[in-house]
Amino acid sequence: MTTQVTGAEGTAGLRHELYSYSGEAQFLDGALSFIEDALAADEVVLVSVPESREQILRAEPAGSDPRVVFLDVSQLGRNPARLIPAWQRWISERTEQGRPVRGIGETDWSGRGAAEIEELRYHEWLLNLAFTGSPAWWLLCPYDTDTVDPGIIRAVSRCHPFALEQGVHREHPDYVQAPFAWEELESACDPSEEFRYGRGDLAAVRDKVSACAMPHGLRGERLREALVAVTEVAGNSIAHGGGYGTLRTWVREGTLVCEFHDDGVMTDPLVGRMVPAPGPLSGRGMWLVQQLCDLVQVRSAPESGTTVRLHIVIPPL
């Protein structure tokens, strides 16, 4: 099946396209037409979808073509900040080989809490920014209207400049080219006493976090990784946030949350979300934090300073 394409063509960067579908049959219609068009143009297709969707695509003749590559993102964990560098790496490898690239990326939204959902929505918005000026490629984002909350679909619709609708690839009328609109952070859960830290207090920061985490079972290697992450964030506060910051910690539903606040401002919305360039190690702290934590929330504005929340899931005993 060949689908019609309308809208801006031939520009560098990402063509970011929403595909709202209902049920397995519609998923196959859209995904297969996208793959078949790509194969007809001798393009590579990178497919990252939930396991149930992967199985039905693999069963189709187009899904067995060697130019269709299935990507397992499970090893990345549930932190959405790890998705852009994964796409960045995969797209770079293929475009360096001189092959045009398409992608199909469907997120598993099941079992996500409010904080994860907000970061996934931000991820969809950031994709447009992250690949501005990159080699041209095309990403189709399927959303199952039977299982994904309508509010989520309305929100992500505003992040996609293009849409696949009734077999036609076209500019998306719901797309909004504007700054990201954040929801309020969830209220803290019985936070411990606020701790103010400054120069010379990084060991005390680690002690405060350990004192909150260990009674709930966070120990060993996972605790050591958490302490590296909190040291990086607190160190950023001291270096770039006015010389001091405040820390609050609590545990909610099996997750340790460490909240840092300072008077500094992070101006790069992609901080920690792009593969660091080779060279000096400075500036890589937030990248390391994203790799060590299960979720990282950053809110930063000149009038309110910067709040960073680190979420570390406590492994079951």
Region 53-81 average pLDDT = 92
Helices 285-292 and 220-240: angle between axes, nearest 10 degrees: 150
CA gap 124, 141 in Å, rounded: 9
Task: Give the global pTM.
Answer: 0.91
Closest CA to 234 of 226, 244, 242: 244
CA gap 60, 55 in Å, rounded: 9
**CATH architecture of residue range(s) 4-171:** 3-Layer(aba) Sandwich (3.40)
| pLDDT bucket at 9, cuts 50 / 70 / 90 | very low
- Give residue-wise pLDDT tens across range 47-62: 999 999 999 999 999 9
Q: Quote the pLDDT of residue 152.
A: 94
Question: 3-class SS at 103?
Answer: strand
Indicate if the pLDDT at residue 308 is higher than 90.
Answer: yes
- Give residue-wise pLDDT tens across range 260-276: 999 999 999 999 998 88
**Rounded mean pLDDT of the chain?**
91
Question: 3-class SS at 206?
Answer: helix
**Which residues of the chain does CATH 3.30.565.10 include?**
195-313
| pLDDT bucket at 279, cuts 50 / 70 / 90 | low
| Spatial CB neighbours of 122, under 8 Å, sequence gap ≥ 6 | 80, 180, 182
Helices 150-157 and 114-130: angle between axes, nearest 10 degrees: 20
What does residue 145 show for φ and ψ, rounded to 5 degrees? -70, -15
Two structure tokens written together for 286: 């937030």
Indicate if the pLDDT at residue 310 is higher than 90.
Answer: yes
What does residue 293 show for φ and ψ, rounded to 5 degrees? -105, 155
CATH of domain 195-313: 3.30.565.10
- Give residue-wise pLDDT tens across range 195-209: 999 999 999 999 999
Q: Quote the pLDDT of residue 7.
A: 44
Indicate if the pLDDT at residue 78 is higher than 90.
Answer: no
Region 65-69 average pLDDT = 95
More confident residue, 185 or 283: 185
**Which residues of the chain does CATH 3.40.50.300 include?**
4-171
